[in-house]
Structure 1
Amino acid sequence: MDGRINKTAHGTVDAASVDDGVDSDSNGKVDIKKEREFLWRLDLGLLTIGFLGYVFKYLDQINISNAYVSGMQDDLKLYGDELNYFTTYFNIGYMVMLFPSCILVSYIGPSIWLPACEVLWGVFTCCLSTVTSAEQVYGLRFLIGFFEGVTWPGYYTIISQWYLPHELALRMSIYNIAQPVGAMMSGAMQGALATNLNGSFGRAGWRWAFLINGVCTIFIALIAFIVLPGYPERPNPLSKFYLKPRHIEVALARGRRVGRKAQTGITIKSFLRTFKIWFYWAIVIAWPIGGNTVPTNYFNLWLKSLKNADGTAKYSVGMLNYLPIVGQAIQLVAEVLFSSLSDRFGRFPFLLLHSAVNIASLVILIVRPANQQTHMAGYYLNYVGGVSLMLLCSWASTHLQDEPEARTILFASGTIIAYALNAFVPIAAFPASEAPHWRIGAKLYLGFAVLALFIFIGIHIGFRRDAKKKATQQQVQAEF
C-alpha cells in the first residue's frame, strides 16, 4: 500500500485499505509502541483542544453568577429573581438545540460543526458586555445556550469513539474537569477585574469579564477547526499534521479489538432502537439527579449574606469570587481521582462513594449548622456531587460499543433532562429572593441523591445479569 486512506461511498474510511507501516490483524492487535505513540498524539491534540474549549464554554456559562455579585445586580437594577431566569433562558436554548445539533454533527462531522457553534456563542458572550437591561440578558443567554448545546455530548461522543473502554473514564474526566477549572477562572477573573479594571474606559469590571471570555472562546474555536480529529472512520483532513494515516489505522484496529462500529448518521431507526435499551432509561434518569451540584451555584449568595458583628459585609467582592474556587478545586481533584481509579477497579464502588459524600453534604445544608465553617464544609462537599457524570457516561459507553448512535443519543438525552431540571427546578427550590436560607433547596436535592443511589444499585445488578447471560451463551456456543 502507499499510505493513502480510501473511503467508501458513505465517506467513511475503509479499514482494510489503510496501511502505512502499521501491522494489525482482523482482531485489532497493534504493536504496543505504535499504540502508545498514537495515544500520546491523540491525548495531546483532542484532549487539549477539548479541555480548552470546555474551560471557556463553562466560563461563558457560569460567569453570570459571579458577575451578578460583582456589580451587575446594582448596575442593571436586578432586585427580583432575574438571576434564576438568566439560567432558565440559557437552559431553554441549550435544550432546544441539543437533539437537532447532535443529528447534524453525526452527518456534518464534529471538526466543522462544533467549532462553528463555538465561534457563534463566543460572539454572543462578547455582546453581554454591552447589555443595559435584564431583557437583553435573557435573549443573549438563550442564544449562548442554543449554540453551546452540542458541545458536551459532541465531545463525549468523539472521546467514546476514539478510546477503549478501560481508557474512557479518565479521558472523560480530563475533559470534564474543565468545568471546575472554568468556574475557578471565572471567580478569579471577576475578582481581579472588580479590583483592577473596574471603571476602565467607562466599563464596569463585570463587563470586561464577558468581553475577555468571548474573545478567548472565539480564538480557541478557530484553532479547533484544525485540531479536532473528527471520527476515526471520518478523520478531519486538516488534522493530518499530527494524526497521520498510520495513526488512523491504529485507531481503526483498536476499534475492531472491542467490536466497535463506525459512527454514522443518526436515523429514525437507530433513534427509536436506542429507547429499547434497558439501561438507557436508568442512566438518563440517574444522570441529572445523581450528579447535581445545583446548591453550589448559590454558595456565593450565602457568603454575601454573612455579616460581621458591626453589620458590615464579612467578605469583599473579591472574596465572594475567590472562596468558591476552593470547592471547584475539590471537584477537580475528586473527578480525576475517582475516574482514574474507576478505570482500574470498576465504576460501581466509586458511584457508591460519591453518593455517600453527596448525601452527607446535603444533610449539612438542610441542618444549617450555626458554625459557619461547618456550613461552608457542606457547600464544599457538594462539589464532589458532579463526579458521577463521567462514571455513568463511561459505564454506558463500555456497554454500547456496537451502538455508536445510541451513545450520542444517550449523551444528548441525559444532558437535556439535566438542563430541563436546572432550567425550572431552581426557580422554586433556590429563588434568589429567599437567599440565604431556602425552604426547599437542599431537601429536594437530597431526595434526588437518595433516588439516584438506588438507581446506581439497580444498574449494577442489571449489568451483572447481562454479563452472566452472555457468559452462558458463549459457553453453550463453545460446547457446540
Structure 2
Amino acid sequence: MAKAEEIFSTTTSTEGTSENSSTNEAVERANPNPSKERSFFAWFDKNDGPIERRLILKLDFLTLSFACLGFWVMYIDRGILANAYVSGMRSDLKLFGNEFVQLGSVFTVGYATSMIPATLLVTKVPAHIVLPLSTFSWGLFTMLAFWAKNFSQLAAYRFIIGFCEGPFFCSIHYVLGSWYRPDELVRRAGIFYMSSGAGTISTGVLAARIYSDLDGALGHAGWRWMFLIGALCTFPIAIWGAVLFPGALREEKRWFMTPAEHTIALERMRLVGRSSPKGLPFAWSSVKRFFGRWHWWVLVPWNIIWILGMGWWGQHILWLRAQPQYSIVQVNNYTAVSPSLGVVFIFAFSWVVDKWGDKAKIPLFGFVTTMTFIASLGFVLYDKSSIQWKWFSVSIGYMLVSLSPVIYSHANLVCAGDAEERAFVISSMLATGTAFNAWVPLFVWPTVEAPRLFKGYTFTTVLQPVYFAFSVFVFVYSKKKMKQEASEKIAAEAQAIEA
C-alpha cells in the first residue's frame, strides 16, 4: 500500500481528476461517493471516472470469463452423474440399491474436505495458480469415470472430483470480494452463479444429444461418453484461467493493469473498508480470531439450513424418469427446465438487491421461501396433487438455489475488514453446509423410495419457514452489528488522532 500512497500523495484532486506535474497526464482517483440513486440497468455508477470504468470492464471480462466458464463446466462434470444414472449406468454397473445417493454423499465429502483449506490457501498462493490447477484436475478424473467398471471405482473418482472442485466456488467469491464495491458485488456474483444454471441446462441437453448420437459408438454406452465429453470441455477452460484469470487484488500489480488502474483498485477497496491479505500464518491464533467474532456463528448455521433446504430440486430427475410417458432423451432434456428458469431468477434477484440494497433482502427471501414451500408441498401430497402441481414444483426447483449470490455477497460485505477471516467464513459456510449435506440425504432422500421421497419433501417443506425466520434475524442482526462496528472504528480513529 505504500506505493499506492506515494502515487496519491503526488496527486491534487479537482472534481475527481488531477494532473500529475511530472508527466502532465491526468491521474484519476477512485470514486469515493457512489450514488444512492441506482439505475436498474446502469453498469457503472454515475460518479465513476473513465479510468475506473476501464478497470471495471477489464475485471469483468478477465475475472468473470474464467469464473463463469469454470462454474459452467463444473456443473456439467458434477451433474452428468444423474443423467448417466438414468441413461443406462444404473443397469450396467448394477446400482440397484441406494448407490446413487451414496455416490452423491461420497462426492460431497470430497467437496467439503478441501473447501476451507483451499480457500485459505488463496490468501497465500495466488488464486490464478490454485483455481486453474484444480479445474484441470477435476476434468482429469471426470475423464477417468469413462472407464469405471463398478461402484467402487466410480465412488473413488467422484470423491476426487469433489475434492478438486472444493476450492472453486468459495475462492471465486473471495476474489470478487477483493475487487468490487458493495454496489457492484451482488450482480457480479449473480452473473457468476447464472453459469451454474447454464451448466445444468447444458448437462441435460448435452446428455440427451450424446445418448441419442453416441450410445454404442466404438462399443461404449452413451452414459460413458457423457463423462468423456464433459472432461474434454474442461481442459481448455483450465488453460484459459492459467493465462488470463487475474486472481485476487494484491499489492503487486498484475500484467493487465496500468499503474493508475492498480492504484485505483487499491483505493476502491480502502474506501469501503476491504482489507488485502496480510499473509497471516495458518496457526491456532488465526483460528481463535476467526471464531472470536460473530460472523462465523451467525452466517454458518444460516447457510446450513439453506443448503439442506435446496437439495430437493436435484431429486426431480427421479420423478421424471418414473413417468412412463417420457423417454430417456426427453427426461434428459426436461432436466433443463428448472435451471433455465433459475438463470432468470438469479438475474432478477441479483439486480433487485443491487438496486434496492438491504431493504430488498427480507421481502425477496420471504417470496422465495413461500414459493418453495408451496412447490415442495405438491410432492408431500404426492397421491393427491396433480401432475400440473408437480411440474410447477419441478419448474421452480432452482428458485431457492438462486439466492446464492445474495447470501455469499452478504458474507463478503460483513467480513470486509479482514481478508483471511472473509476467506475462512465464506468457505466455512459452504463446507459446513456441504458436510451436513453429505449424510442428511442418506436418511431423508433414500433412492429406493423414489419417486415419492415423502421424508425428503416433508423435510424441505418444514425448512422453508425456519429458513425465512433465520434470514430475517441474520439481516437485522448484521445491520445492527455493522453499524456498531463502524461507530467503534470512527471513535478509535478520532482517539488516535487526538493522541
TM-score, structure 2 normalization: 0.86
Report what 2:40 is aligned to: none
Structure 1 residues 36-185: aligned runs within 5 Å: 36-185=53-202
Aligned partner (choices 299, 304, 328) of residue 283 of structure 1: 299
Q: CA deviation at 1:474?
A: 8.7
Aligned partner (choices 10, 16, 21) of residue 5 of structure 2: 16
Aligned partner (choices 418, 422, 426) of residue 407 of structure 1: 422
Structure 1 residues 276-315: aligned runs within 5 Å: 276-291=292-307, 292-306=309-323, 313-315=324-326
Q: Is 2:402 the counterpart of 1:387?
A: yes
CA deviation profile, 1:313-372 (whole Å, cap 9, x unmatched): 210111111112111111111011001110121233322222222222222221224411
Gaps spanning 5+ residues in structure 1: where?
1-11, 307-312
Report what 2:243 is aligned to: 226
Maintained 8 Å contact 1:124/1:144: yes
Q: Secondary structure at the match of 1:23?
A: strand
Aligned partner (choices 251, 259, 264) of residue 245 of structure 1: 259
Distance in structure 1 (CA, Å) of the matches to 2:372 and 2:422:
27
Maintained 8 Å contact 1:162/1:231: yes
CA RMSD, aligned part only? Answer: 2.5
Report what 1:272 is aligned to: 288
Cα pair distance change 1:48/1:324, threshold 3 Å: same
Aligned partner (choices 447, 459, 475) of residue 474 of structure 2: 459
Q: CA deviation at 1:26?
A: 9.1
Maintained 8 Å contact 2:207/2:332: yes
Maintained 8 Å contact 2:30/2:52: no
Maintained 8 Å contact 1:27/1:256: no
Aligned partner (choices 434, 450, 453) of residue 465 of structure 2: 450
Q: CA deviation at 1:232?
A: 1.8
Cα pair distance change 1:148/1:49, threshold 3 Å: same
Distance in structure 1 (CA, Å) of the matches to 2:26 and 2:131:
31
Distance in structure 1 (CA, Å) of the matches to 2:418 and 2:448:
46
Q: CA deviation at 1:78?
A: 1.1
Distance in structure 2 (CA, Å) of the matches to 1:227 and 1:140:
29
Q: CA deviation at 1:277?
A: 2.4
Distance in structure 2 (CA, Å) of the matches to 1:331 and 1:282:
27
CA deviation profile, 1:202-236 (whole Å, cap 9, x unmatched): 12111111111112111100110111112221568
Report what 2:368 is aligned to: 354
Distance in structure 2 (CA, Å) of the matches to 1:314 and 1:360:
25
Structure 1 residues 305-454: aligned runs within 5 Å: 305-306=322-323, 313-346=324-357, 347-368=361-382, 369-454=384-469
Q: How many residues align?
A: 460
Distance in structure 2 (CA, Å) of the matches to 1:321 and 1:196:
14
Comparing 362-371 with 168-177, greater Cα deviation is found at 362-371
Distance in structure 1 (CA, Å) of the matches to 2:142 and 2:491:
59
Q: CA deviation at 1:173?
A: 1.1
Report what 2:207 is aligned to: 190
CA deviation profile, 1:251-306 (whole Å, cap 9, x unmatched): 11211221221123353333322222224322211113225421111111111112
Cα pair distance change 1:372/1:469, threshold 3 Å: same
Maintained 8 Å contact 1:122/1:214: yes
Maintained 8 Å contact 1:26/1:256: no
Distance in structure 1 (CA, Å) of the matches to 2:478 and 2:159:
39
Maintained 8 Å contact 2:32/2:271: yes
Cα pair distance change 1:367/1:146, threshold 3 Å: same
Counterpart of 1:15 in structure 2: which amino acid? A
Comparing 19-28 with 63-72, greater Cα deviation is found at 19-28
Q: CA deviation at 1:53?
A: 0.5
Distance in structure 2 (CA, Å) of the matches to 1:164 and 1:280:
22
Distance in structure 2 (CA, Å) of the matches to 1:321 and 1:13:
56
Distance in structure 1 (CA, Å) of the matches to 2:445 and 2:394:
14
Q: CA deviation at 1:31?
A: 5.8
Q: Secondary structure at the match of 1:232?
A: coil
Q: Secondary structure at the match of 1:408?
A: helix
Maintained 8 Å contact 1:22/1:246: no
Maintained 8 Å contact 1:331/1:387: yes
Gaps spanning 5+ residues in structure 2: where?
9-22, 34-46
Q: Is 2:276 the counterpart of 1:262?
A: yes
Maintained 8 Å contact 1:263/1:404: yes
